[in-house]
Structure 1
Amino acid sequence: MIELPLTAWYAIAGIVGYFVGSIPFGLLVTRLAGLGDIRQIGSGNIGATNVLRTGRKDLALATLLLDSFKAGLITLLFGLLSGDRDVGLVAGAAAFLGHCYPIWLSFKGGKGVATYAGLLAFASWQGFIVAAPIWLGLFAITRISSLSALTAAALVPVGAFLLGETWFACAMLGFLSVLVFWTHRANLGRLLRGEEPKFGSSSQ
Structure 2
Amino acid sequence: MLISGIIISMILSYLLGSIPTGYIFAKTLKNIDIREHGSGNVGATNVFRTIGKIPGIIVFVIDFLKGFLSVIIIPLVIVKIFSIHVAYEYNGIFLVLCGASAIIGHIWTVFLNFKGGKGVATTAGVIGGIAPLIFISSFLVWIIVFYLWKYVSLASILAGISLPIFSVIYGADFYFVLFSGVFSIVGILSHRANIKRLLSGVENKISK
Q: Which runs of 5+ in 2 are unaligned?
A: 80-85
2:97 corresponds to: 90
CA deviations over 1:126-178 (Å, ceiling 9, x no partner): 32022110000000000011111111111111212211211111111111111
Structure 1 pair 183–115 and aligned structure 2 pair: CA distance change class (3 A): same
1:56 is the counterpart of 2:52: yes
Distance 1:67 1:162, change over 3 A: same
Query: How far apart are 1:80 and its partner, in Å?
Result: 2.5
2:10 corresponds to:
14
Moved more, 119-128 or 9-18: 9-18
Which residue type is aligned with residue 8 of structure 2?
A: I
**Equivalent residues of 2:168, 2:177 under 8 A apart:** yes
- The alpha carbon displacement at 1:123 in A equals 1.2
How far the C-alpha of 1:78 sits from its partner, in A, is 3.6
Does 2:192 match 1:185? yes
Deviations 1:61-108 (A, max 9, x none): 110011110111011124424453431221111110110111111111
In the alignment, the residues of structure 2 paired with residue 87 and residue 128 of structure 1 have an alpha-carbon distance, to the nearest angstrom, of 19
Equivalent position amino acid for 2:5 in 1 = W
Q: What RMSD, in angstroms, separates the aligned Cα atoms of the two structures?
A: 1.8
Superposed, 1:1-204 pairs within 5 Å as 4-5=1-2, 7-81=3-77, 82=79, 83=86, 84-199=91-206
**Counterparts of 2:63 and 2:117, CA distance in 1:** 10
Post-superposition CA distance 1:24-82 (Å, at most 9, x none): 01111221223421112101111111111234222111100111101110111244244
SS in 2 for 1:53: helix
CA distance in 2, matches of 1:160, 1:72: 18
Separation (CA, whole Å) in 2 of partners of 1:23 and 1:107: 11
Kindly provide the amino acid, as one letter, of the partner of residue 123 in structure 1.
Answer: I
Q: Is the 8 A contact 2:92 2:176 kept in 1?
A: no
Q: Could you tell me the TM-score, scaled by structure 1's length?
A: 0.89
In the TM superposition, residue 182 of structure 1 has moved relative to its aligned partner by: 1.3
> What's the TM-score, normalizing by structure 2?
0.87
Contact 2:12-2:74 within 8 A present in 1 as well: no
What CA distance in whole angstroms lies between the structure 2 residues aligned with 1:38 and 1:87? 34
- Count of paired positions: 197
Q: 1:55 to 1:28 in 2, by over 3 A?
A: closer
Residue ranges of structure 1 left out of the alignment (5+ in a row): none
- In the alignment, the residues of structure 2 paired with residue 75 and residue 34 of structure 1 have an alpha-carbon distance, to the nearest angstrom, of 32
Checking the alignment, whether the CA contact within 8 Å between 1:67 and 1:115 is kept in structure 2 is yes
Residues 89 and 172 in structure 1, CA contact (< 8 A), matched pair in contact too: yes
Paired with 1:61 and 1:197, the residues of 2 have a C-alpha distance of 18
State the SS of the aligned residue for 2:111: helix
